[in-house]
Each structure stands twice: as structure tokens, then as C-alpha cells.
Amino acid sequence: MKRTAQFFKESIFVALVLALFGCGLEKPLPKQPNIILITLESLRPDHVGSYTGPRPTTPMLDRLAEESVVYDEAHSVTSWTLASHASIFTGLYPSAHGANQSRSRLDDMPTLARLLREEGYQTAGFASGPYLARNHNLSQGFEFYDDSPATLGTQGGAHKDVTNVKMVSAIHRFLKKERKPESPLFLFAYFWDPHYDYIPPSPYDRMFVDDEMTRINLEGYESNSLISSELEAEEIRFILSQYDGEIAWTDQMLERVFDALKQASLWEDSLVIVTSDHGEEFFDHGKKGHKKSLYVESVHVPLFVKFPRATRTGRDARLVSLVDLFSTVLETAGVADIPDHQGHSLLRPVPEDRSIFFELLASHYFQDADRSGYTRKDEEWFAVRKGDWKLVTVPEQGRRELYAVGADPVEQFDIAITDPARVDAMEALIALWLKNSVDFAENRNAAEAVLSEDQLERLRALGYVE
């Protein structure tokens, strides 16, 4: 009996020692992990190796995929930069946050940066595209915000800007001089370079070119009417080779950013999210660029989430939206009081019958007959995805298109005529969601951003304003 008691005492002692010095060697996860959020401009998942990209464009993202959850069915809420980023930052769809036009200035509201700053995070943002310049107020809540790569404006217009190197230097500079290690960090970085014109620097301009391709001049891509769906297949393949070159060039810069974060002990315990603000059209439905429609090529995005210490990894096939990042980030950061929003935290089960929504206010400019100015014509698009069904509507034109995306993932065969009851039901979902969004938007004063002539010129060169 005595020996047994002694044995128990010794066992407890050994167990305690193990707990303290064995398993205890592993530090507990920080309550407020660092959060790194990176958005890459106009990146389609079918041009990313760890998705269905056929070329080795993204070795860095592919390595990130191994320690992340990779979301196969992630979607942006729209097909352009400003409205999409505002949704990432607020967890609200564009008609709810109100920043849904080219000149919009996001109202002061609870954004990720504001909320995390209130929780004691050091908040730092880096932006290289014009819509993230501080005039649009997506910089609110960032204690440190470097948008200098987005306001170069001197190198022949936005489409010629090569900003990746400036972004990497800005992040390095911050980590070296401004980082306050006593606070957890929220770092946001938006990389612009995959945006058209696709003119990657050497050697990326040759990396994916083969002898059969026909070279064409890609300068002034958006306004050049010769770059149209009339192009030969070998010319379109050349365009894609240059887009892939921009992606490979940006991926290589990510390696430098990831290395800098690792050196600053900002990797292992951090939540790292990498995604894109929207996709890109290459005449899939006849058009080029983005901000034109809501078909899959414009809204399907890559999404990698590396959880602190990579506690979850693998593929996740749930239907998710970038509005979901808001509560995912805040929950990971331990924020108790998360403001009302329209997403679902990725940390929780997503309802089986979930619907995700898309909206776009596309503006077209027509020169007046007397050439004295331009008339703007707005075109509203809405879409909903529920299970394997997607409805795309343009109410003003009476367009209602239904796609069975399980059988037709590239949304080429409109089968609305075969299933009017489903079309009506899905249209009702859009109406309900829109009402909910408008309720959010009540009492909000949508304002215009005050832009300099130089900034307007950049937006003009991209075809975004008149």
C-alpha cells in the first residue's frame, strides 16, 4: 500500500516536471496574435499554381499553401478594387458600406484597422494602387500608412507603374524603424503590379512566352480598342503570358516580404491572409480587364489563411466571401464586441444553405455629340451564388441569367429559360439581401473623395473615370 502511494507521488512529480519542462517548452499561443493581411491585385485562381494554374507562376504562394487553409470557393463581392477592399475592411457589401463608385470616400466606420487599434494593435498599411491612396479613406484606423507607392504619378500613368520594389522597401523600412514590438501588429499590404497594362520587368516578360505566340503592344491596354475579343488565339496567349509574368514577379516579391516577417518574429504565431481583390476578364464573356461584370472570372479569388502556428491546414471547399474576413480576423484577435456585419467567420461552421452576393455599379462614359464633354451611364449588376447555382442580373436591361456552376463552372450556358421558378427564388434572395444592405447604409453620408489632378489622371488612364 505504502509502495503504491510512493509510486503515485513519484508519478505525479514526473508528470509535473514533464508538464513544466517538456510540453511546457511550447509557449502558449498569444491571445492577440499578429495579423498580416495581403491583397494582390486582379489575381485569378486559375493562374495560381496551388489552384488550377498550369504554369509555375507562384512558387511562393504554393509554399504558403502547404502551411495554410486554401479556400477553393472564395469570392470577392465585386469586380473592382475600392469597393472590394472596403468590404474586406468592414464585413459589409458595397451597398452597405457605400464606397461603390470611382470617386467614393469610405465613410468613417468600424474598419479592421480602427477596431484592432482600439484593442491595442499597432496598425500599419502599405498600398500601391490609386484606390488605396488615403483620399478614399480606406486608410482610416492605420496609425502608420504608406501610400507613396500608390501616388507616384510621374512615370507615364498608372499602367506603367512598377511598384513591387517600392512596396517591399516600405515594409522593410517600417519593420526596421517604426515597429513597436511591445504591441501586437496588424499589417496590411496591397500589391498593385498584376493590374493591366501587363508589362512585367525583365526576365518576367519572357518567362512564359513561347515561339507560337504573337507579340502585341499592351500599352494603354484598357483604352486600346485593337485589344478586343477579335484578337487571334496566339495574341491572347501572349497577353496571358505577360499577365503571368506580372504574377510571377509579384510572387517573387512576396518571398522578400515573408522573409522579412520571419526575421522579425512575425510569422509563426501570426494569422497570415493572402487573397486578391477580384479576378480579371480575358474575353471569357467578351470583355477585358475588370469592373465590367460579375461572372466567375471577375469574382473568384485565391484565398490562403495561415492560422497561428498552422493549427489548421488543407483545402476548404465551403462557399466563402471576402466579407467573411472581417469577423475571422477580429475573432482571431480576441475582439469580444464585433460590430454588426454581413459575413460568417471562417473559424465557425458556415450554414449549408448559405448564399453569397455580388454587386457592381459599372459606369460607362459616352462622348457628347458636340464633343463638349461626357455623359455617364450607370449600369447596376447583381448576382447571387447558392450551392451550385448562380444568378446574374442586370435589372435595367431585364437580364436574368442562370448558371449551373457544377456542370458549367465557367458560366457559359445561361439556362434561365429552363428553370423560371429557380430564377424567381434567387432573385428574391437578392432583393432581401439588398434590403438588408440598404438598412446598414441608412444614416450614412456617402461622400466624394477629394482627388488631386494627378490622381484623377491616373484613374482616367486606367479607364475608371471620365
Q: Which residues pair with 380 in a beta bridge?
A: 361
The DSSP-derived string for 20-88 is: IIIGGGSPPPPSS--EEEEEETT--GGGSTTTT-SS---HHHHHHHHTSEEEEEEE-SSSSHHHHHHHH
Would you tell me which residues interact with Zn ion (CB under 5 A)? 41, 81, 277
- For the bound state, the minimum distance from the C-beta of residue 293 to Zn ion, rounded and expressed in Å, comes to 15
Which helix (H) or strand (E) segment is 462 a member of?
none
DSSP 413: -
- For the bound state, the minimum distance from the C-beta of residue 81 to Zn ion, rounded and expressed in Å, comes to 3
Rg of the chain's alpha carbons, rounded to an integer?
Answer: 24
Residue placing its CB nearer to Zn ion in the complex, 138 or 402: 138
- For the bound state, the minimum distance from the C-beta of residue 291 to Zn ion, rounded and expressed in Å, comes to 8
Residue placing its CB nearer to Zn ion in the complex, 114 or 290: 290
Residue placing its CB nearer to Zn ion in the complex, 81 or 137: 81
* Three-class DSSP category at 100: coil
- For the bound state, the minimum distance from the C-beta of residue 354 to Zn ion, rounded and expressed in Å, comes to 25
- For the bound state, the minimum distance from the C-beta of residue 79 to Zn ion, rounded and expressed in Å, comes to 8
* CA distances from residue 442 to 1, 241, 358 in whole angstroms, order as listed: 75, 45, 20
Helices marked H in 103-214? 112-118, 164-177
Residue placing its CB nearer to Zn ion in the complex, 81 or 242: 81
- For the bound state, the minimum distance from the C-beta of residue 95 to Zn ion, rounded and expressed in Å, comes to 19
- For the bound state, the minimum distance from the C-beta of residue 178 to Zn ion, rounded and expressed in Å, comes to 27
Please tell me whether the peptide bond between 197 and the residue prior to it is cis, using omega within 30 degrees of 0.
Answer: yes
Residue placing its CB nearer to Zn ion in the complex, 160 or 348: 160
Q: Contact 193/165 with Cβ under 8 angstroms? A: no
Residue placing its CB nearer to Zn ion in the complex, 41 or 297: 41
Residue placing its CB nearer to Zn ion in the complex, 69 or 360: 360
Task: Copy the grid coordinates of residue 61.
Answer: 504562394
Residue 371 phi, psi (nearest 5): 60, 20
Residue placing its CB nearer to Zn ion in the complex, 39 or 122: 39
Cα distance between the two ends of the chain: 91
- For the bound state, the minimum distance from the C-beta of residue 71 to Zn ion, rounded and expressed in Å, comes to 19
The sign of the dihedral angle between the CA atoms of 358, 98, 222, 368 is positive
Nearest residue to the partner Zn ion, using Cβ? 81
Hunting for cell 519572357 — which residue is that? 206
